[in-house]
Amino acid sequence: MKRTMLFILVGMITLPFVAGGQEIYQWVDEKGTVHFADDPGQIPERYQDQVIKKKAPVEPASPSKKVPEKPEPDTERKDLLGRGEDWWRDKATEWNQKLKNAKKNFETAQAALKAKEKELEQSIYKPDSFKRRLQAEIKGLEENANNWKTQVDEAKNMLEKILPKQAEEYRADPSWVKIE
């Protein structure tokens, strides 16, 4: 019994010294969940660059006594999900390219529609079957132009409203989503 008590006493004395030398690793995943590990081998590779190392406390800190430690400043700024300027710029560039393509296709569809309408106007002395065929083509061209107009509006909305709002929500720098 005395031997068991001696081992317990020695363990209780040395435990704070052993725990005090350990490091704790902290990282945030893409969903915003904070993770902790005491073994760097447990950290997924994609989060290795954002790990914050902390020393394990010797004794539990009470919230009233100790101010939480601030993470080390990162050389590259990131949003709440760890996405940096490149990610946001790529997203804005992608939507800007969609806008350019949709505008170009809309203008092409509008020009084709106007040409068909002009052809219909000039077909006064043509057979009714020819006029009906032109009217059907015009209807198809109108639908095509409307589809491209919808895509133009969607891309504009994404670039002017949605993407900046998302950047604000995830605390990304608003200048990252501006295309010049």
pLDDT in tens, 21-48: 578 878 777 777 877 777 788 888 777 7
As for how many domains the chain has, the answer is 2
| Confidence (pLDDT) at 144 | 94
89 and 44 within one domain: no
Q: What is the mean pLDDT of residues 128-150?
A: 93
The stretch 101-125 carries a mean pLDDT of 93
Question: Which three-class secondary structure state does DSSP give residue 90?
Answer: helix
The dihedral built from the CA positions of residue 92, 98, 101 and 104, taken in this order, carries a sign that is negative
Domain membership flag for residue 96: yes
For residue 18, what pLDDT band results from cuts at 50, 70 and 90? low
Asked if 89 and 162 sit in the same domain, the reply is yes
Q: Determine, yes or no, domain membership for 71.
A: no
pLDDT at 45: 79
- Rg (C-alpha) for the chain, rounded Å, is 32
| Arithmetic mean of pLDDT, 43-70 | 64
In a domain, 145, yes or no: yes
Report in angstroms the alpha-carbon separations of 45 from 50, 71, 144: 10, 20, 47
> Do residues 164 and 177 lie in contact, with contact meaning Cβ atoms separated by under 8 Å?
yes
CB 56 within 8 A of CB 66: no
Q: Are residues 32 and 115 in the same domain?
A: no
Using pLDDT thresholds of 50, 70 and 90, give the confidence band for residue 74: very low
Poorest-pLDDT segment among 22-36, 68-82, 90-104, 154-168: 68-82
SS3 state at 52: strand
Residues 6 or more apart in contact with residue 173 via CB below 8 angstroms:
77, 85, 88, 167
Residue 45 lies in a domain: yes
On whether both 43 and 114 belong to a single domain, the answer is no
> Quick one: average pLDDT of 89-101?
92
Q: Does residue 51 share a domain with residue 91?
A: no
pLDDT of residue 99: 94
CA angle, 170 then 176 then 177, to 5°: 85
Domain-ending residue, one of 55, 73, 100:
55
Do residues 168 and 125 touch, judged by C-beta distance below 8 A? no
Residue at 60 is within a domain: no
- Tell me the CA end-to-end span of the chain in Å, nearest whole number: 79
In a domain, 100, yes or no: yes
Per-residue pLDDT of 143-172, as tens digits, reads: 999 999 999 999 999 989 998 898 888 888
Same domain, 46 and 105: no
Annotate 14-40 with DSSP letters as a single string.
Answer: HHHHHHHT-EEEEEE-TT--EEEESSG
Do 179 and 93 meet the contact criterion of CB atoms below 8 Å apart?
Answer: yes
Judgement on whether residues 168 and 110 belong to the same structural domain of the protein: yes
Residues 104, 164 within the same domain: yes
Q: Whole-model pTM?
A: 0.54
Whether residues 48 and 103 fall in one domain:
no
Residue 109 has pLDDT above 60, yes or no: yes
Question: Are 89 and 171 in a shared domain?
Answer: yes
91 and 156, same domain (yes or no)? yes
Where in the sequence is the domain holding 23, given as residue range(s)? 2-55
